[in-house]
Amino acid sequence: MLSLAENFESADANPPPNFTYSGSVQARFGAPNNPPGACGDYAACVGDFRGIANNPNSPQWFAITANGAIVLATVVTGTPPQFKSNTRLAVITDGTSSTFLAGEKHIPMKMFGHPKVGDGPLYSGAWTSYAGRIAGLEDPLARGPSDLTPSVSGDGFWARKFGSYHPNVCQFVFCDSSVRAISTTIDTTNLRRLAVRDDGETITFSE
């Protein structure tokens, strides 16, 4: 399906299905920069809300300082400009079998195609949430398609979580290419450990 061309603002705290935003909109969130495009059911794991800084007051999930297996690339100036990856297998020091690569995107029921919930054009660079998600202390897994619990702090309150229409689990691809179903009730400490590539902490939950 194709996304909808809508004006929205990532910091809009009005919950869905309210998709009308009356305040000022950053240009990258305006309809002209978000034309209809192909949506996807899965998203890369860019880490947790805090990123490398590990500071809840300084979110890094939308920056090159994100701490997941796949993060924004660095732009290398030139003609044409090029992009340099900021991750590779060697930097996933927690182990490829213990680190999320990608998972199912949480798109609340009856909200498909709305950029506000992160269901924008999958190949657009306008917003990380179109193709990326985070997991951790501020972002537990959605408990199901009707879950409208906002993420904690920052912005993109309904566009950051992983979640599934499968009952009680969310499917993830790990960096070793295995696919595993993770319980939606997993504690957020262990969820963060799975989302971050190099925290060095031991995972203590059992599937």
pTM for this entry: 0.94
Give the integer Cα–Cα distance in Å for 180 and 175. 11
pLDDT of res. 206:
75
SS3 74: strand
Q: Rounded to whole angstroms, how far apart are CA atoms 98 and 122?
A: 26
Query: Rounded to an integer, what distance in angstroms lies between the CA atom of residue 43 and that of residue 24?
Result: 28
Alpha-carbon gap, residue 149 to 167, rounded angstroms: 17
pLDDT band at 24 (very low <50, low <70, confident <90, very high): confident
Alpha carbon distances (Å) from 31 to 4, 5, 10, 124: 9, 5, 13, 13
The partner residues of 45 in beta bridges, in order of sequence, read 133
pLDDT of residue 1: 84
d(C-alpha 29, C-alpha 70), whole Å = 23
Q: Are 161 and 154 in contact (CB under 8 A)?
A: no
Tens-place pLDDT, residues 139-174: 999 999 999 999 999 999 999 999 999 999 999 999
Domain residue ranges in the chain: 1-6+40-202
Yes or no: say if 179 and 74 are a contact pair by the CB < 8 Å rule: no
Distance CA 17, CA 108 (A): 9
